[in-house]
Amino acid sequence: MYTSDFLCRVFDQESQGLFDAREVVLGQTQQGGAPSPFDRILGTRLAAHSIDWLSDQIDSASPGGAVIGLSEGRVRVRPLRDAEELADWEHRRPRQQWWMQLRPMIDVLANRLALRSDWSG
């Protein structure tokens, strides 16, 4: 069984300075209770795509950084330079938030507003 410390050292050594690897203990970063099956599957998908991307970077003439995440139901890797336009850094959230269109319904369910008859959902 490989420890995260061992894997970090292997990646750091094998990268020959192209990238660095840092150890993260899930218990220190996890918030919100036990991970659901979706969380576990997403974590596996993100890890697999990350390893594939790192493998490509090792062979690349000009390696770079990237942001990886779920977008429109697909795992996507975007250049790190695009991160600035993807996020609202002041409020620490994505610029495009698909769930914001659900706010009128959430307000009704939270009993903050009465259902408007002209709202078509």
pLDDT tens track for 74-96: 999 988 888 788 888 888 888 88
> Residue 45's pLDDT is what?
93
Domain positions in the chain are 1-33
Task: Give the pLDDT mean for 105-113.
Answer: 77
Q: What is the pLDDT of residue 119?
A: 56
Q: What are the tens digits of pLDDT across the range 10-26?
A: 988 888 888 888 887 66
pLDDT of 116 above 70: no
Given phi > 0 = left and psi -120 to 50 = alpha, else beta, which region is 35?
A: beta
Q: Which amino acid is at 66?
A: A
b/e map 39-78, b = 16+ CB within 10 Å: eeeeeeeeeebeeeebeebeeeeeeeebeeeeeeeeeeee
Q: What share of the chain is helix, strand, coil (3-state, %, to 5)?
A: 50, 15, 40
Q: Determine the average pLDDT of the residues in 20-36.
A: 71
Q: Rounded mean pLDDT of 30-41?
A: 79
Which band of pLDDT confidence, cut at 50, 70 and 90, is reported for residue 29?
low
